[in-house]
Amino acid sequence: MIDLETLDTSPFCVILTIGAVVFDPKGNGIVDKIDLRPSIEEQLDMGRVINDETVKWWGNQSEAAQHEALGDHDRIPFKEAMEKLHKFCWNKGNPWSHGAAFDIVAVETSWASFKMQPPWDFYKVRDTRTLFDVTGVNLKDGGYVTTHKASEDAARQAFIVQKAYKILIAAGVTPP
């Protein structure tokens, strides 16, 4: 499961933080996780974009969320962050994100800017929103709260995927 905090909603957004977790959709819990904080300045130099509406949205988030996403602490070069994420995702099965058209796509455009291929085949990408609609679960199930710390949000999304899979299995459906 990959989750991003960004400064735009396009695939070419400036990425503030990257969180990813390894999990078994049919299992319980998280196997591994990674938190990455890529350099903002470097992304701007590369032409990645910031949207004023997204910046305004961040201004309405909690001080803790703003500090986590926008703070300069622990930033690493953008290319290094993308290389670490690539290595983390290698041979981990199907990549998941909350929605098919944003997090995964933004990661893939980032890798493309470094001439890196995604470590998965395009048809393996999985989308939580579709699964949640089909099973009737939502992100508020289990009392999880969006923190805007990318790895925490990724873990929360993974836990809800596991809950949705349990619903499918209980109904006699065998998910892939």
The model's pLDDT over 32-86, given as tens digits with 9 standing for 90+, comes to: 999 999 999 999 999 999 999 999 999 999 999 999 999 999 999 999 999 999 9
Could you tell me where the DSSP H helices lie in the chain? Answer: 40-45, 52-59, 63-70, 78-89, 103-113, 128-135, 150-170
Domains of the chain as residue ranges with CATH: 2-170 (3.30.420.10)
pLDDT at 138: 82
User: pTM for the complete prediction?
Assistant: 0.94
91 pLDDT more than 80 = yes
- Burial call 5-37: b when 16+ CB within 10 Å, e when fewer: bbbbeebebbbbbbbbbbbebeeeebeebbebb
Helix H or strand E segment including 102 = none
Q: Is the pLDDT of residue 144 over 70?
A: no
Does the pLDDT value for residue 112 go beyond 70? yes
Give the other-Cβ count within 10 Å of 158's Cβ: 25
